[in-house]
Amino acid sequence: PFDPTEFLEPAVYVDRVFTKTGTSANGEWRRYDIYFTDGRDGSTFKEEIGQAAQMHRDAHTKVVATLEANPKYKGKNTVVQLLKAE
């Protein structure tokens, strides 16, 4: 018999969010380091993604995260999208 639950992805939640601030020649910056319950992690300088991560962490909502390899830093990922899962 067909079992549709076999095709469901496990729930992914934002586990932790850390912020780091600094100053460069271009001005002040804030980086969000985001850790997910599936073991993935990534960072972003985008305020809207960082704030969404904090909101989803606090509300414990299931998310869909899109991460891309960061070409500047080997082994590091950039969070390019973070959405509430349906």
User: What is the average pLDDT value for the chain, to the nearest integer?
Assistant: 91
**50, pLDDT greater than 80:** yes
| 11 against 30, higher pLDDT | 30
Write out the two tokens for 20. Answer: 């780091």
| 50 against 86, higher pLDDT | 50
- Residue 58's Cβ-side half-sphere holds a number of Cα atoms within 13 Å equal to 6
Q: What pLDDT digit, counting tens, does each position of 23-49 carry? A: 999 999 999 999 999 999 999 999 999
Secondary structure of the chain: what % helix, strand, coil (to 5)?
A: 20, 45, 35
pLDDT bin (cut points 50, 70, 90) of residue 73 is: confident
- The pTM of this model reads 0.85
Give the distance, in angstroms, between the CA of residue 2 and the centroid of all CA atoms in the same chain. Answer: 33
How far apart are the C-alpha atoms of 5 and 28, rounded to whole Å?
A: 46
Contact status, residue 85 vs residue 64, Cβ threshold 8 Å: yes
